[in-house]
Structure 1
Amino acid sequence: MSWLPDDFVHPVLVPLPGGGHHLRPIRESDTPLDHPAVMGSRERLWSVYGPAWGWPAATMTYEADQADLLRHEKEIAAHRSFNYALFDAAETALLGCVYIDPPERAGADGEISWWVVDELVGGKLEQDLDALVPQWIAADWPFEQPRFIGREISWPDWLALPEPSGT
């Protein structure tokens, strides 16, 4: 059984309030913008995602990031999981990502997390993204019990949850 309905069509462009930024599915061709964004915020990202995902490694090369983005692109096409990149209007800067994944822990039908680059932490764009993501998930995704990891539940508490039965 798939975690999404067979006829589900994922959004391909999600504007943020104000029109200056948007989300879209990440692609391998985004590596030139993704790699510096991730590595420029690596220490903070590791403090968030490291214990759960082992990402991003301190030694993540451009080529490793490119392979990772290709994997994400293929997962998106197959509706196995989704990685949306946050861009400025002209797509000259990748400013963060939103992950929408099948549940790895019991009690949810989708697990969502997101981040912005270090220089945006605490600013208006992060606040706009924080407000948008739950609304967008409720409006455009077929989840009845989405879990917002790092928002409504901490990463350590999430890691302590049981895995779904049948896995």
Structure 2
Amino acid sequence: MKHLVPPDFVVPLRLETPDFVLRPLLITDVVKDYDAVMTSVAQLQSIFSRQTRWPEGLSFEDDLIDLGWHHKEFKVRRSFAYTVMSYDKSICLGCVYINPTDLTGYDAEAFCWARSSHPHLDQPLYQVLKSWLQTDWPFAAVAYPGRTLTWDEVESLKS
């Protein structure tokens, strides 16, 4: 089993900003996560459109399974999914994913999205993610497919 980060790296469990809190995505987040996902289908498809039609057809049970998978991957250090929560914990504002990559020249891929009801958080979330990965994570180069790399560039960099 390949880990995304070195064994001695302490994985951050929380990041607070003036607008939101990042913390690991857990199965207990399923109700708020499902609401955020299903109210942002078109937006999510535009972000991940080259990879999948997700979340089209996603059931509540499917989301629970996905969250269980994300939770397990986090625990075994293969990938890291974070929920973006409001400070009062009333609403999931989006998600962040830090994944292994097969792209030449990069040692991780990162994605983020803010729910469609909060589009003003998309750029701040992306900027926070970029800064956080540069300062607090052990990556030399992170790819941001669909943001700093076009999907055609992503395809050309696959090893």
Q: TM-score, normalised by structure 1?
A: 0.88
Corresponding residue of 1:68? 66
| Count of residues paired in the alignment | 158
Corresponding residue of 1:128? 124
**Cα pair 2:99 2:109 within 8 Å, conserved:** yes
What is the letter of the counterpart of residue 5 of structure 1? P
Partner SS state of residue 84, structure 1: strand
User: Is the aligned partner of 1:94 residue 2:92?
Assistant: yes
Corresponding residue of 2:15? 14
Worse overlay, 150-159 or 84-93 = 150-159
After TM superposition, the runs of 4+ consecutive aligned structure 1 residues lying more than 4 A away are none
User: Is the aligned partner of 1:157 residue 2:156?
Assistant: no
**Structure 2 residue ranges without an equivalent (≥5):** none
Corresponding residue of 2:44? 45
TM superposition shift of 1:55: 4.8
What is the letter of the counterpart of residue 149 of structure 1? P
What is the letter of the counterpart of residue 40 of structure 2? S
Q: Over aligned residues, Cα RMSD in angstroms?
A: 1.5
Partner SS state of residue 122, structure 2: helix
Question: What is the percentage of aligned positions where both structures have the same residue?
Answer: 32
Counterpart-to-counterpart distance in 1, 2:95 and 2:6: 24
Q: TM-score, normalised by structure 2?
A: 0.92
What is the letter of the counterpart of residue 15 of structure 1? E
Corresponding residue of 1:25? 24
Structure 1 residues 55 and 92, CA gap change in structure 2 (3 angstroms): farther
**Cα pair 2:45 2:54 within 8 Å, conserved:** yes
Q: 1:70-91, CA deviations, whole angstroms, 9 ceiling, x for partnerless residues?
A: 0000000000001111000121
**Structure 1 residue ranges without an equivalent (≥5):** none
**Cα pair 1:25 1:85 within 8 Å, conserved:** yes
Partner SS state of residue 50, structure 1: coil
Q: 1:131-154, CA deviations, whole angstroms, 9 ceiling, x for partnerless residues?
A: 211110011100011112222112
Corresponding residue of 1:114? 112
TM superposition shift of 1:112: 0.8
Q: 1:106-144, CA deviations, whole angstroms, 9 ceiling, x for partnerless residues?
A: 2200111111111222x1x33321221111001110001
